[in-house]
Chain A
């Protein structure tokens, strides 16, 4: 399973990628929407885990752009805010919606479920 992690917090996204790799999941990471688009252009991913709130390109906007390049890719949104708008937008747009801080096992479980759908 190949995963693309996008979050503006580099500390978070690098640690998460490393933890996933310990568990046998191949994860690429990016801290900006434009870089994520480049990565997706270069190769295919099964799941994209996107932070909802990011500078320049938001998670929801990024998902729309990624869908054009990779129509088969699944999406999981992350949020640290959990505001009403985020919640409804996230649950409508994404296959899953998770609130930070994450439980790593739960993330992996969610990714598996999303891919199998």
Chain B
């Protein structure tokens, strides 16, 4: 069986707040000025934008700034290490060139062409600087005058070789790494020395390419870094970890010439982002390159970014939950305040109407009562004349007519008396109430309808009821509304039962029960709302039960309902035996 208590106005079906389902059909649109659904949407939208926009903007700014600073830090670090390494490579080459220069300055040509002497010098060079393979002295015609080293190169003619022409023209030469005659990667350093009389000779040495490797292999590079040296054709002069061995050609291309150290970002053929730092080593064909994997370098940044985005998502979720909860709560409050305001408004209207009706009724009753009193007395006199003079006593027809007139007068006076009582009961006075008489009086209004429709009305009032002190007029209205509803619900020949029982020590329960059409659960949740009616097509205003509810509250009582479609409905009004003085229509007005 479906039950509902109207005291539970915050009831929601599922997660949907109750105002969501509010339609203009249930509340007349001109009186219900607020579109709560739109209010809710607007509020949520404004609050979301106002609170999330700064958060998102700040996070985006922070994201960009942090990312840029991380990237520029990477560029700076790469640039520094390239620049330092370039100086180290440059220095070690110049150091060896200076050593050759020192030998030339320290020894005359005759001494250098002494191969034993030259051998001693090579030994000293190997000991002090390292990397030297051989040493040769070549005259200005390109003829090797003396050679010390592991190979048999004495007497070789270099005159048509590029390096010789270069050293003859420019005074010194540092060659690319090449396999040479020996199939071992090496490079050649040569220095020209002027002889008195315009002639010259050249001191030439070859260095193991390996000595570059030792310079670069000590570097500690982050991000899977790879440091190597290429020549201007892109041929590797040192071995590299990822771009091939000595004398292979790199797949990255040779960076454009620049005086200073540069760092740029690019992608490998397979699409990985890399950071390339490079520097041209002056006076040599060499370009120092350091290649780093960007993905590895940005690893720590990705962790930071994850935290940042996680924090943002968490904040947005928390803010949205708060916004939705607060907005829904407040709009629900407004919804109920609005409903209560309207209920109060209509109760006031209803009360005013009842007072006006009471005045009208009293006026009509007064105007009718006076002529009615004359009819009463004249007919009474007529009857007296017949009775007391014995002239027509035995005429049953005449006496019948007179008695019929008197009976009609009595019926009329009963109507006017009710109207007068009704008028008297529209104020808010509390008096002891005879419940049985009140129920009978209210049923009196419905007596004819019950007869016409063969509705069986059963009244069951506990004989030992304690005295009820309440407002008789309000109680009559409550009973009238509930009995009216019961009459509307039942079919012809239906059954209505009105019972009054003590419920607790200081309250009584009036139950109005019918075996009519009943109500669905959905209807039950809304029947106490103003303007909600299931009988609109048959002239229902949707006000009866909302007013009944207010009246019951005004009397300090409560009302609840049980119903089952097709079986019938029970309304129970519980009233305190003594009406609490403080509760009244003024208190009800706080919602509006």
| Chains A and B are bound partners | yes
Contact A80 B380 (CB under 8 A): no
Question: Does B243 sit within 8 A of A, measured CB to CB?
Answer: no
For the complex, give the distance between the alpha carbons of A101 and B378 in Å: 11
For the complex, give the distance between the alpha carbons of A58 and B423 in Å: 22
Chain A residues lying within 8 Å of B365, measured Cβ to Cβ, are: 80-82
- B496 CB to nearest chain A CB (Å): 31
Contact A81 B378 (CB under 8 A): no
What 0/1 pattern do residues 1 to 42 of A give for CB contact below 8 A with B? 000000001011001101100110000000000000000000
- A20 CB to nearest chain B CB (Å): 10
Chain B residues lying within 8 Å of A9, measured Cβ to Cβ, are: 370, 373-374
Contact A16 B370 (CB under 8 A): no
Q: Given A12-B373, A82-B362, A102-B377, does the pair A18, B384 have CB atoms closer than 8 Å?
A: yes
Question: Does B77 sit within 8 A of A, measured CB to CB?
Answer: no
Chain B residues lying within 8 Å of A44, measured Cβ to Cβ, are: none
Task: Write the chain A residue with the least CB distance to B359.
Answer: A83
Contact B362 A83 (CB under 8 A): yes
Contacts of B360-378 to chain A: CB distance below 8 A: 362, 365-366, 369-370, 372-378
- B357 CB to nearest chain A CB (Å): 15
Chain B residues lying within 8 Å of A87, measured Cβ to Cβ, are: 424
Task: Write the chain A residue with the least CB distance to B423.
Answer: A83
Question: Does A68 sit within 8 A of B, measured CB to CB?
Answer: no
- B207 CB to nearest chain A CB (Å): 130
Contact B413 A11 (CB under 8 A): no
Contact A104 B380 (CB under 8 A): yes
Question: Does B388 sit within 8 A of A, measured CB to CB?
Answer: yes
Contact B384 A11 (CB under 8 A): no
- A17 CB to nearest chain B CB (Å): 10
For the complex, give the distance between the alpha carbons of A19 and B380 in Å: 7
Question: Does B254 sit within 8 A of A, measured CB to CB?
Answer: no
Question: Does B427 sit within 8 A of A, measured CB to CB?
Answer: yes
Q: Given A18-B381, A18-B384, A104-B380, does the pair A81, B374 have CB atoms closer than 8 Å?
A: no
Contacts of B58-116 to chain A: CB distance below 8 A: none
Contact A15 B378 (CB under 8 A): yes
Chain B residues lying within 8 Å of A15, measured Cβ to Cβ, are: 374, 377-378, 380-381
- B380 CB to nearest chain A CB (Å): 5
Contact A12 B374 (CB under 8 A): yes
Task: Write the chain A residue with the least CB distance to B429.
Answer: A84
CB < 8 Å A-B pair total:
74
Interface residue from A12, A18, A99 paired with B420 (Cβ < 8 Å): A99
What 0/1 pattern do residues 390 to 424 of B give for CB contact below 8 A with A? 00000000000000000001100100010010011
Contact A84 B424 (CB under 8 A): yes
Chain B residues within 8 Å of chain A by Cβ, number: 25
For the complex, give the distance between the alpha carbons of A109 and B516 in Å: 49
For the complex, give the distance between the alpha carbons of A87 and B377 in Å: 23
Contacts of A66-110 to chain B: CB distance below 8 A: 80-84, 87, 99-102, 104
Chain A residues lying within 8 Å of B378, measured Cβ to Cβ, are: 11, 15
Contact A80 B388 (CB under 8 A): no
For the complex, give the distance between the alpha carbons of A81 and B416 in Å: 9
- B374 CB to nearest chain A CB (Å): 5
Contact B384 A101 (CB under 8 A): no
Contact A80 B384 (CB under 8 A): no
Q: Which of A9, A11, A19, A101 has the most CB of B within 10 A?
A: A101
Contact A101 B381 (CB under 8 A): no
Q: Given A11-B378, A15-B377, A15-B378, does the pair A100, B370 have CB atoms closer than 8 Å?
A: yes
- A85 CB to nearest chain B CB (Å): 11
Chain A residues lying within 8 Å of B372, measured Cβ to Cβ, are: 100-101
Contact B377 A80 (CB under 8 A): no
Contact A100 B388 (CB under 8 A): no
Task: Write the chain A residue with the least CB distance to B382.
Answer: A15
Contact A82 B424 (CB under 8 A): yes
- A45 CB to nearest chain B CB (Å): 20
Chain A residues lying within 8 Å of B369, measured Cβ to Cβ, are: 80-81, 99-101
Q: Given A81-B369, A83-B362, does the pair A102, B376 have CB atoms closer than 8 Å?
A: yes
For the complex, give the distance between the alpha carbons of A22 and B410 in Å: 22
Task: Write the chain B residue with the least CB distance to A10.
Answer: B374
Contact A12 B377 (CB under 8 A): yes
- A2 CB to nearest chain B CB (Å): 20
- B419 CB to nearest chain A CB (Å): 9
- A54 CB to nearest chain B CB (Å): 12
Chain A residues lying within 8 Å of B417, measured Cβ to Cβ, are: 82, 99
Chain B residues lying within 8 Å of A16, measured Cβ to Cβ, are: 377
For the complex, give the distance between the alpha carbons of A42 and B393 in Å: 39
- A6 CB to nearest chain B CB (Å): 14
Chain B residues lying within 8 Å of A102, measured Cβ to Cβ, are: 373, 376-377
Contact A11 B362 (CB under 8 A): no
Q: Given A81-B365, A81-B366, A83-B362, does the pair A11, B374 have CB atoms closer than 8 Å?
A: yes
- B575 CB to nearest chain A CB (Å): 24
Chain B residues lying within 8 Å of A22, measured Cβ to Cβ, are: 384, 387-388
Give B contacts to A, CB under 8 Å: 362, 365-366, 369-370, 372-378, 380-381, 384, 387-388, 409-410, 413, 417, 420, 423-424, 427
Sample of 12 further A-B pairs with CB below 8 A, known A81-B362, A100-B370, A101-B413: A11-B377, A12-B373, A12-B374, A16-B377, A19-B381, A82-B423, A83-B420, A99-B420, A100-B372, A100-B373, A100-B376, A104-B377
Q: Can you list 14 pairs linking A and B with CB atoms under 8 Å apart?
A: A12-B373, A12-B377, A19-B377, A22-B384, A22-B388, A80-B373, A82-B362, A82-B365, A87-B424, A99-B417, A100-B372, A100-B376, A101-B369, A101-B409
The 8 A-B pairs of least Cβ separation, nearest first, read A101-B376, A80-B369, A100-B373, A15-B377, A82-B420, A101-B373, A81-B366, A15-B381
